Amino acid sequence: MLSTFNKPVRFDEFMQFALYHPQYGYYARGERIFGNDGDFVTAPELSPLFGQTIGIALREVLTRCGGVVYEFGAGTGQLACDVLHTAGDLISQYNIVDVSGGLKPVQLGRLLAQHGPDVAHKVRWLSTLPNDIHGVVLGNEVLDATPVRRFKWHGNGPLEAWVQRHNDELQWTWKPADPLFATTIQALHAAHGPWPEGYESEIAEQSAAWVSTITERLSGLVLMIDYGYHAAQYYHPSRNQGTLRATSRHTAHDDFLVKVGEQDLTAHVNFSGVFLALSSVGGELEGYSHQGEFLLAHGILDIAQQQPDFTHPVRGALMRQNLNTLLNEADMGEAFKVICWSKGIDAEGTALSRAFLTNDRSGDL
């Protein structure tokens, strides 16, 4: 497998291979990735309250989008189960689009176990991106799992990271950035520098392309949740090692080139880049806020209190602990952001757009 890298390959191609190669890629491992026994815990795995609150937030918008949902990167299917729990009566079709198609049996299993065949039959799996996306697009921790290009700042010309095999290990090779990439890096430096010599960071070209394509094909609304920053934080001179990280067994580290396909690789989302990409093709920003603010605005505490287990001494305590992790500023509450945009529909006056009015941080973008 390492022979793939006998010749140097650009870092984003390496990341694509390491995550998504159908045989050797990390996401070919299936369900073993998620949860306490896997490598990381995402919000839907942590608590059903996350997806149930999103379902509530989307109710009014769903009626304006024909009751159709497109969820990207659906993981174990838990977010789908929870959104269907609180908005299933308004959902006529729930489409799952995942580059790791191996997760379909896991997703179907969860849907059948939690909802039975009547609800599960609303769910369809799509292997390609539809040409027309009329509906609500949803994705949790998808953009951070998109390959990035990595650069190093040098006053006499920026460099780009490539990866090459030397004997039995992979090593970095730095090459002069091509003219187009160099121009992008220099523009970021002009806006957010000066950076020290050797400053490293990432540019999420593929993620921006994905946002533009989705928005071009959209008649509806997009809600994406992920960890990340706006550009001034992302490219702050002090963040001189970028945001790339490897994760294995709940431990994050920076040995990116080892255990290829056995560890997750992610980069934080540059939400200003997302905003730029959606605006360039006619998308209209509905709002940008911290995850904690978003969930509170849509009544997560009320939903929690309605759960039969909420006051149970053991199960209730765990539920409250997980709720706290979702909301707390020191945990996921602030590190994770919600960005929402629309095209071709009027979302004004819905609970979703009203809630953003009180928590909107789009001025940061």
Q: Nearest approach, Cβ of 154 to ligand SAM (angstroms)? A: 31
Q: Nearest approach, Cβ of 91 to ligand SAM (angstroms)? A: 17
Closer residue to ligand SAM, CB minimum distance, 199 or 271? 271
Q: Nearest approach, Cβ of 40 to ligand SAM (angstroms)? A: 7
The closest alpha carbon to 57, from 118, 144, 136, belongs to 136
Would you give the distance in Å from CA 88 to the centre of its chain? 23
Q: Which residue is nearest to ligand SAM (CB)?
A: 73
Closer residue to ligand SAM, CB minimum distance, 44 or 287? 44
The closest alpha carbon to 341, from 271, 284, 299, belongs to 284
Closer residue to ligand SAM, CB minimum distance, 150 or 192? 150
Q: Nearest approach, Cβ of 210 to ligand SAM (angstroms)? A: 5
Closer residue to ligand SAM, CB minimum distance, 177 or 211? 211
Kindly list the distances between the CA atom of residue 336 and the CA atoms of 71, 98, 267, 330, 362, in Å, as whole numbers in the listed order. Answer: 18, 21, 13, 11, 14
Interacting residue ranges for ligand SAM, rule: CB under 6 A: 27, 34, 42, 44-45, 72-75, 79, 97-100, 140-142, 145-146, 210
CB 140 within 8 A of CB 147: no
Closer residue to ligand SAM, CB minimum distance, 192 or 290? 290
Q: Nearest approach, Cβ of 173 to ligand SAM (angstroms)? A: 26
Task: Count Cβ atoms within 10 A of the Cβ of residue 155 and give its class: 0-12 exposed, 13-18 middle, 19 or more buried.
Answer: exposed
Q: Nearest approach, Cβ of 164 to ligand SAM (angstroms)? A: 25
Q: Nearest approach, Cβ of 31 to ligand SAM (angstroms)? A: 11
Closer residue to ligand SAM, CB minimum distance, 195 or 210? 210
Closer residue to ligand SAM, CB minimum distance, 74 or 277? 74
